[in-house]
Chains A and B, each alone.
Chain A
Amino acid sequence: MTLDTSVHSLEKGNRRTGERPPTGRTSLTTEVPSPASPWWQGHRRSALFYLLTPLVAGGVTAATLGISLGGVVGYLPTATVDLLYSFLRMCAAYVASLGFALAYGYYAATRRQGERVMIPVLDILQSVPILGFFPIAIVVLAGLTPNSWVGPNIASVFLIFTSMSWNMVFGVYESVKTLPVDLREATDSFGVRGIQRFRQVLFPAMVNRLVYNSVLSWTAGWFFLVEAEIFTTNGGSALPGIGSYLSFAAGAHHGTAFLTGLILLVILIALLDFGVWRPLGHFAERFRYDQSPSGVGEVVGMGGTTTRFRRAAAYITRGVRSGVTRVSTPLVQLAAIPFRSASGRRRTEQHHPVLYYGILGGILVSVWLLLIAITVAIFNVFSAPIVSSVRGQMLELPLAMGSSLVRVTVAFAFCLSIALPLAILMSRRPRAARVGLPIVEVVASFPATALFPVIIFELLPYISGEGAAILMLITGMLWYLFFNLLSGIRSLPPDLEEASRSFGVKGRDFFAKVLLPGIFPAMITGSITAFGGGWNTLIVAEYLNVGSSQKFQLLGIGSSIDVGYAEPNGLPLMVAALLTLVLSVVTINELIWKPLYRRAVEKYRYD
Chain B
Amino acid sequence: MALIRLEGVGKSFASRHGSMSIMEGITFDVKDADFLAIVGPSGCGKSTLLRLIQGLDHPTSGQIYFRDQPVERVCHEMAMVFQNFALLPWLTVSQNVTFGLEALGWAPDRIRAQSERYISVTGLEGFEEAYPRELSGGMRQRVGLARALAVEPAVLLMDEPFSALDPLTAESLREEILQLWRDPALPPEAVVLVTHNIEEAIQLADRIVVMARRPSHVLELVEVDLPRPRDRKSTAFYDLTDRVYSLITESGVPHPHGGAPSSAAPSSSQPL
**Which A residues contact B (CB, under 8 angstroms)?**
1, 5-7, 9-10, 12-14, 19-20, 22-25, 34, 493, 495-496, 498-499, 501-506, 509, 513-514, 517-518, 603-607
**21 A-B Cβ contacts within 8 A?**
A5-B83, A6-B86, A7-B47, A10-B22, A12-B42, A13-B42, A22-B12, A22-B15, A22-B48, A23-B13, A23-B48, A23-B57, A495-B82, A498-B51, A499-B80, A501-B74, A502-B54, A502-B79, A503-B103, A509-B102, A518-B90
Contact (Cβ within 8 A) B133 A607: yes
CB-CB under 8 A for A503 and B99, given A13-B42, A604-B90: yes
Contact indicator B86/A496 (Cβ below 8 Å): yes
Contacting B90 at CB < 8 Å: which of A7, A14, A505, A517?
A: A517
Looking at chain A's contact residues, the main secondary structure is helix
Q: Which residues 73-100 of B have a CB within 8 angstroms of A?
A: 74, 76, 79-80, 82-86, 88-91, 99-100
Contacting pair A504 B100 (CB below 8 A): yes
Given A517-B88, A604-B89, decide whether A6 and B100 contact each other with a Cβ distance below 8 A.
no
Please, how many residues of chain B have a CB less than 8 angstroms from a CB on the other chain? 45
Do the beta carbons of B56 and A501 come within 8 Å of each other? yes
Say yes or no for B11: interface residue by CB 8 A criterion: yes
Q: Determine whether the beta carbon of A514 is less than 8 Å from that of B88.
A: yes
Q: Hey, which chain B residues are within 8 Å of A513, CB to CB? A: 88, 91, 99
- What chain B residues lie within 8 Å of A506 (beta carbons)? 103
Given the complex, which residues of A lie within 8 Å of B138, measured CB to CB? none
- Please pick, from B20, B56, B85, B103, the residue contacting A25 in the complex, using a CB distance under 8 A: B56
Partner of B15 from the list A13, A19, A495 (CB cut-off 8 Å) is A19
A122 to B233, CA, bound (A): 62
Residues in A whose Cβ lies below 8 Å from that of B149: none
Indicate if the CB atoms of B43 and A10 lie closer than 8 Å: yes
Asked whether A505 lies within 8 Å of B89 as measured between CB atoms, the reply is no
**B5 CB–A CB distance under 8 Å:** no
Residue from the list B83, B196, B214 in contact with A6, Cβ < 8 A: B83
Contact of B74 among A12, A493, A502, A607 (CB under 8 A): A502
B17 to A, closest residue via Cβ: A19
Give, as a whole number of angstroms, the nearest-CB distance from B99 to chain A.
6
Asked whether any CB of chain A lies closer than 8 Å to the CB of B104, the reply is: yes
Measured CB to CB, the closest approach of chain A to B81, in angstroms, equals: 10
Given pairs A25-B51, A34-B16, A603-B90, 14 additional interface contacts (CB within 8 A)? A10-B43, A14-B43, A493-B86, A495-B86, A496-B86, A502-B56, A502-B79, A503-B79, A504-B103, A505-B100, A505-B103, A506-B103, A603-B131, A604-B89
Give B132-158 interface residues, CB cut-off 8 Å to A: 133, 147, 151
Interchain CA distance A505-B22 in the complex, whole Å: 29
A498 to B88 Cα, complex, angstroms:
12
Cα–Cα distance between A604 and B58 once the two chains are bound (Å)? 32
Alpha-carbon distance between A6 and B196 when the two chains are bound, in angstroms = 14
Q: How many Å from the CB of A21 to the closest CB on chain B?
A: 9
B161 at the A interface (CB under 8 A): no
| Smallest Cβ-Cβ distance to B100: which chain A residue | A503
Interface positions, chain B 209-257, Cβ under 8 Å from A, are 213-214
Q: Which residues of A contact B83 (CB under 8 A)?
A: 5-6
Nearest 10 CB-CB pairings of A with B: A503-B100, A13-B43, A495-B86, A22-B13, A499-B86, A5-B84, A504-B103, A517-B90, A505-B103, A502-B80
Q: Which residue of B lies closest to A1 (CB)?
A: B84
A5 CA / B151 CA spacing, docked (Å): 24
B188 within 8 A of A: no
Q: Which of A22, A493, A502 contacts B11 (CB 8 A)?
A: A22
Q: Which residue of B lies closest to A605 (CB)?
A: B89
Select from chain B the residue with minimum beta-carbon distance to A33: B16
**Chain B proximity of A73: nearest CB distance (Å):** 44
Among B40-61, those with CB < 8 Å from A are 42-43, 45-48, 51, 54, 56-58
Distance (whole angstroms) from the CB of A75 to the closest CB of chain B:
46
Chain B, Cβ-Cβ closest to A520: B90
Q: How far is the CB of A303 from chain B (nearest CB, A)?
A: 16
Chain B residues whose C-beta falls within 8 Å of the C-beta of A5 in the assembled complex: 83-84
- Write the nearest CB–CB distance from B213 to chain A, whole angstroms: 8
Asked if A10 and B103 make an inter-chain contact with CB atoms under 8 angstroms apart, the answer reads no
- Expressed in whole angstroms, the minimum distance between the Cβ of B196 and any Cβ of chain A is 8
Shortest distance from the beta carbon of B146 to any chain A beta carbon, whole Å: 12
Contacts of A34 in B (CB 8 A): 16
Considering only CB atoms, which chain A residue lies closest to B150 in the complex? A503
Measured CB to CB, the closest approach of chain A to B269, in angstroms, equals 12
Q: How far is the CA of A205 from the CA of B100 in the complex (A)?
A: 43
Given contacts A10-B43, A24-B57, A503-B79, contact A607 B48 (CB under 8 A): no
Give Cα distance in the complex from A607 to B137, angstroms.
Answer: 11
A4: nearest residue on chain B (CB-CB)? B84
Residues of A within 8 A of B42 (CB): 9, 12-13
CB contacts under 8 Å to A, within B176-228, are 196, 213-214
Residues from chain A with a CB closer than 8 A to the CB of B47 are 6-7, 9-10
Contact between chains at B51 and A10 (CB < 8 Å): no
Partner of B88 from A25, A496, A501 at Cβ < 8 Å: A496
CB-CB under 8 A from B79, the residues of chain A are: 502-503
Which B residues lie within 8 Å of A607 (CB)?
89, 133
Query: Which of B43, B57, B131 counts the most A-chain CB atoms under 10 A from its CB?
Result: B43
Task: Verify A503–B56 contact, CB threshold 8 A.
Answer: no
